[in-house]
Structures are given as structure tokens and as C-alpha cells.
Structure 1
Amino acid sequence: MLHIVCWMIALATHEPGAAEATDWMKPPTWSGNYWGPEATHARSVGSLPPLQSNPEMGSWQRWGREVLRQGDIVFRLGDARVMRGLVPLSRFISHATGSPFSHTGVVAIEDGSPVVYDCSSAGVQRQPFEVWMLDSLGSLGVKRLKPEHRERIAGVIEYCRSAFERQVPFDNGFRMEDDSFYCLELTEKAFRSQGLALSEPVRIGDWEYLASFPVTAMLIPPVSGMMLGRPITLEQTVYLPGNERNGVWASPLLETVSGPTPKVFQEAAALEASRLNMRGDLDVLVFTFWEVRRSYTQLPARLLCDLVLQMRARGPLQAGVRERKRAGLDNEVASRSSSPASSLKRIEGSSD
């Protein structure tokens, strides 16, 4: 019985959805988009500490300065998850679409260094390239507009910056409306705003290797409907990172700067894309099992860390409350001493 209770606690306290590496850089006292305009300004004026670096980040920064150019599209395999972190969304998208990638962003060169505009669960964000790469679990890909289209790059970057300043929210339903974006949607619409349609959206039910995920595909509409209030259906069309046959990676408007030869999920088993099998569902099931097991074994340490973080966050807050109370008391004393009655008493006292 104790084991069952512990598993239930582990599930209930498991880190939520998109807990990628950069999510843990966010201070516990900061609320909102840590990579949005407010936080960016706070870092520039010293209200937030500057971003820390490490040898890996330094290496990516040097590589980015040498290779990346304004308007480049960067591709990576991320670690975004759903269902309180138990279901690997990025992994599912990559495998079901036959792509080595799950995420894209648009590069801008600012203050001599590359930054990436993309959209995550917190909304449109701007990250230094070396920070953006912390969330990469696989190969990096880079595409660039062909020379005849590069005069439109300035408009593409302006579109991204405008979405960033407006803080367009994340599109949990992966729909085509312009009031919210998912990562591929921001990339595609930024280029389409300049008359450059990189790729055409693909119906979810037509993803190349969705046949390897029959159970997952069957569960998408009811589970998403329960979580979002409006189901994601297999009839929906979405933009894809793609491979050599479809998606942004296959765009005829782009040339490859860097990246692997795309390998599909089923390559080792030599399966046909349309052949029904359970390989993908088993992959998701195994991943979920190990995540639950990890959550269970790490539960005591995680609870202790959460407690420490809460105490660290509560300390400055309590200190601020004490300061405000003290300031309020001082103001009250000052106001009383300056009141007409107090002045009269001081005058009477002096006449005595």
C-alpha cells in the first residue's frame, strides 16, 4: 500500500510538461516568460543576474558566430513533454513524422552574436543560440534562404521581433489561427509574411510513420479534448520540421548549411511507412515507464529540493514584508508627530 501511495505522489508531483534544460534556469521568484521582453530588459539593467555560461555553451557561441547568419532556420530535437512530463511530445513528433527534428527557430544577429526567436510553452521567446542549444537532444540542423530570396530576411526578422514584443502565446491546440503559435508555425508564418511559403501543412493522420503509433493516435483526440477543452483531431493540418521529402527541411527555397542526413524512425527495422505496427507505442510506453520509475526513486530528493527552493524564495518575500511593515510604522509615527494635535501638545509643553 505504501508503494502505491508513493507512486501516486510521484505522479502528482512530477515536473510539468515542457521541463527542458532551460526551464530550470528560471529563478523560483520569477513569474512569466523568462525568455520574454520583460526578463530580457531586467537582465540588461541588472534586475536579474546575467546568464551563466559553461564550456559547452562557449563552444556553441563560437560556432554560432562563425557559421550562423541573419535569417537562418535552426532545427533541433527537443525534450518537450505532455501529461505532466510523462509523455515525450518531441520524441513522438520526430518519430511519427520521420524527422530527426521536432523544433525550429529563426536566427537574428544582435550585438554581434546569434539569438534564436521561437515559441515554447511560455510564448514567443528570444534566447542566445548557445542557450537555445541546451535543450537539444540530437543533431543540429541549419537551413538558409537561397541568394535570390535573401532581400526579404529583414521582414522575416521584424515579424519575429514583433511577435516577441507582443508576447504571442503558445498554441497548445496546434491550430492555424494567428492569435497563438507553436514553434513551426512561428517559423513558417514569419517567412510567409514576406511571401515565402517554405512548406505546406500536413494532415496529422497522414504523418509518414503514424502507423507505428496506432494507440497513441487513437488517444490524441479524447485526451487532448479532456486537457484542452477542444480536441486535436487527426484531420488537423500542421507544419512539420520535416525530412528530405516534406516539411520545412525539404523546402525548395532553402539550402543546407549544416545538418545530418535525415534518418527515419523505422529505418533499422526496414518497415514500410504505411504498415501498421506497435513499435512507436511501445517506445512511448517504455519511456513513460522509466520516467515514472525515475520520478518514484527521485521523489525524496526532489521534495527536499522543492522545500529548499520554497524557503529561499520565501526569505526575500518575508524580508520585503518586514521592510514594508517597518516603513509603514515609521510613516505612521511621522504622521502622528506632524498632526495638529501633536503640534499643539509640543507648543503647550514648551510654554510650560
Structure 2
Amino acid sequence: MEAVAFVKQPARARRRFSRTGRRQQWVLACALLSQAGCSSTGDLTSQMVPHSWRGNPWGPDAETARHCRRLPTIPSNPPMCAWDAWGRANLRDGDIVFRMGDARLAFGLYPFSKISAEMAGSRYSHTGIVALENGEPVVYDTYKSGPRKQPFSIWVLDVAGAIAVKRPDADSQRFVNDAVAFCRDTYQRQVPFDKRLSLDDDRFYCIEFTERAYRSAGLVLSEPIRIDHLPCYQHFPKAVWLARHFSSIRPDQSAFVIGNDSVGIWSNPALLLIYEAPDARLPYAKLSAP
């Protein structure tokens, strides 16, 4: 799409576009050279931990530290209370939660979440799996710091767009317990984050974490897709060029994606959509869940 716009613009506009394009390339190059995610300035929950804390701020050590008050608890507010009450009333073990995040690279200049989701033709950039623990819904996912467990009311703070919940149908509910057990085990072992988006099982990126959890239980959510076969891959030539030259990610490698109605986890017919909203300011409605 950008290439078409470039051809149709007059010379002065083309020069201006060229300068802008070079700036965008420089920003993305900085992002890729900074190990793809060292400056995720868009995530609110990443800013809720004292600078003195070392390690995963939502891992087992941090969980223990909060219980012992060596780390401050996260203060609540009315929207968080509303989401907590909504989650307690409506969410179940094994629900898959989707969100558009706002993870940014290169000191916040490059909207990594938005671009990665758009390349995959998706409204969402991140997934996690719900578990009910002492009546409270928590979300297991993984991030650059490693596997995390966050109360659902905190997890929604990082929503920067749409939010959705899907649930395995009645025939697939038998896979839920083992999938949640996988999440808890991965969390306790702190399996490293996979910056290379590989398909090895010794480290995971966020979408792969969700896929592997259900595959370990016997339910295949999706098949990996080649990066250069993503629905909107051709719309991002600059990102593709820089990724090929400044990172270890190859266009011909395969990865798990959230996708849409046609590809990825989202397209699995065994997952029933039970909630979707354009944002997470407040719960819009009760779930009409099966």
C-alpha cells in the first residue's frame, strides 16, 4: 500500500515521503538492534514495579515478594474493581483472552504490537490463558521477562485496543485442566522468552505459549504459518527488509499467530467467542457463555 501511494504522489511529496521513510527505517533498525523489546514503553504494568526490582516483575519471586510486602501491592481503581467482579462472575479455567497491546520499541517510537498484529491480519497482538485461583481469575502468559501470572483486573490495564475472550467448546473442555497445568508448570520453571520466534519447545513467545499449553493437553489450536505467507505481509516492505538485515528472523520461517477468521488460533472452530469489545475501559456486558 505504501508503494502505491509513493508512485502517485508528486515529486515534492515523494521527497518528503522518502525522508519520512528513512526516519521510520532508522527507528525500526534501532528497535531490531535493541533485541526486539528492550524498551516496551507502552505497557502500563511494566511501569508498576520499582526500578530496584531485578528479574521478572510478575514471576514467582515477585509473587512471593508481594505476599511478604517486599514489593508493593498494586492499588485498585473503579474500572479494575469492575473487571475483577466481571471476571469472577464470568470467566472460567482455560478461557483464552486476547488483547491489542501497546508494546513499543526504540524508546516508544515503534508500535510493535500494532504492526505485528496488522501483518497477521489480526485485531489482536497478545494472548493468555485464564485460571481461577481462590476464586480470583488470573492470566498466565509470557513476555520478554518470562512467564507471568497477573490478576485479570491488572492484565486488562495493558489493553490498548480491542479485547476478547474465547472458550473451548463442550467437546474440548476435557483439555482445559492439562492446559492450565502446563501454564502453571511453565510459570514455576520460568521457561525463557523466545525472541527468535522459533518453534523449539525450550522457550516460548506469547502466542506460542497459548498454543503449546493446549497442544500439551491434546488440542491443536492452529498450525504455524510462514511469516512471508501472513495475510498482510506484503504491506510492510520496510519492516520486512530491516528484519531480514538486522535480526535472526527469516521470512521463510514459520510461527504461530493469532490471525483472524481464516488463519491462526482465532480461526479454530472449537473456540467459541463469548466476549468481544472495542476497548477495556469497562465491561460492556455479561457473557452469554455456553
2-structure distance, mates of 1:196, 1:130: 28
Structure 1 partner of 2:281:
none
Preserved CA contact (<8 Å) 1:77 1:102: yes
Q: Which residue of the other structure, out of 34, 44, 60, is the alignment partner of 2:57?
A: 34
CA-atom RMSD in angstroms? 1.9
Letter in 1 for 2:99: R
After TM superposition, give the deviation of residue 164 of structure 1 in Å: 0.2
Preserved CA contact (<8 Å) 1:73 1:106: yes
**Runs of 4+ displaced beyond 3 Å:** none
Q: Which residue of the other structure, out of 239, 256, 261, is the alignment partner of 1:239?
A: 256
Structure 2 partner of 1:250:
267
Structure 2 partner of 1:107:
130
1-structure distance, mates of 2:241, 2:69: 49
2-structure distance, mates of 1:77, 1:159: 24
TM-score (norm 1): 0.67
**Greater CA drift, 54-63 or 124-133:** 54-63
Structure 1 partner of 2:8:
none
After TM superposition, give the deviation of residue 22 of structure 1 in Å: 0.5
**SS at the partner of 1:81?**
coil
Q: Which residue of the other structure, out of 8, 18, 30, is the alignment partner of 2:40?
A: 18
After TM superposition, give the deviation of residue 16 of structure 1 in Å: 4.3
Letter in 1 for 2:251: L
**SS at the partner of 1:30?**
coil
**SS at the partner of 2:128?**
strand
Letter in 2 for 1:18: S
2-structure distance, mates of 1:39, 1:112: 21
Structure 1 partner of 2:228:
205
Structure 2 partner of 1:73:
96
After TM superposition, give the deviation of residue 86 of structure 1 in Å: 2.5
Structure 1 partner of 2:239:
216
2-structure distance, mates of 1:16, 1:191: 29
Equivalent runs, 1:187-336 vs 2, <5 Å: 187-224=210-247, 231-259=248-276
After TM superposition, give the deviation of residue 260 of structure 1 in Å: 5.3
Equivalent runs, 1:39-188 vs 2, <5 Å: 39-188=62-211
Identity of aligned pairs, percent?
A: 43
Q: Describe the superposition over 1:112-169 as per-residue Cα deviations: whole angstroms up to 9, x where unpaired.
A: 1110000011000000001111111111111101111212211101100000000111
Structure 2 vs 1, CA of residues 55 and 260 (structure 1 numbering), >3 Å: closer, same or farther?
closer
Preserved CA contact (<8 Å) 1:198 1:252: no
After TM superposition, give the deviation of residue 251 of structure 1 in Å: 0.6
Letter in 2 for 1:232: I
**SS at the partner of 1:259?**
strand
2-structure distance, mates of 1:193, 1:95: 28
Letter in 1 for 2:145: A
Preserved CA contact (<8 Å) 1:16 1:85: no
Higher relative contact order (CA 8 A, sep 6+): 2
After TM superposition, give the deviation of residue 17 of structure 1 in Å: 2.3
Letter in 1 for 2:91: L
1-structure distance, mates of 2:109, 2:39: 8
Structure 2 partner of 1:350:
none
Preserved CA contact (<8 Å) 1:18 1:121: no
**SS at the partner of 1:130?**
helix
2-structure distance, mates of 1:233, 1:65: 42
Q: Describe the superposition over 1:320-351 as per-residue Cα deviations: whole angstroms up to 9, x where unpaired.
A: xxxxxxxxxxxxxxxxxxxxxxxxxxxxxxxx
Letter in 2 for 1:239: F
TM-score (norm 2): 0.80
Q: Describe the superposition over 1:188-241 as per-residue Cα deviations: whole angstroms up to 9, x where unpaired.
A: 0000001100001111101111111112111112121xxxxxx10101111111
**SS at the partner of 2:242?**
helix
Q: Describe the superposition over 1:167-200 as per-residue Cα deviations: whole angstroms up to 9, x where unpaired.
A: 1111111111112111000000000001100001
Considering fraction of residues, name the structure with more helix: 1
Letter in 2 for 1:93: S
**Contiguous gaps of at least 5 residues in structure 1:** 1-10, 225-230, 262-352
Letter in 2 for 1:221: R
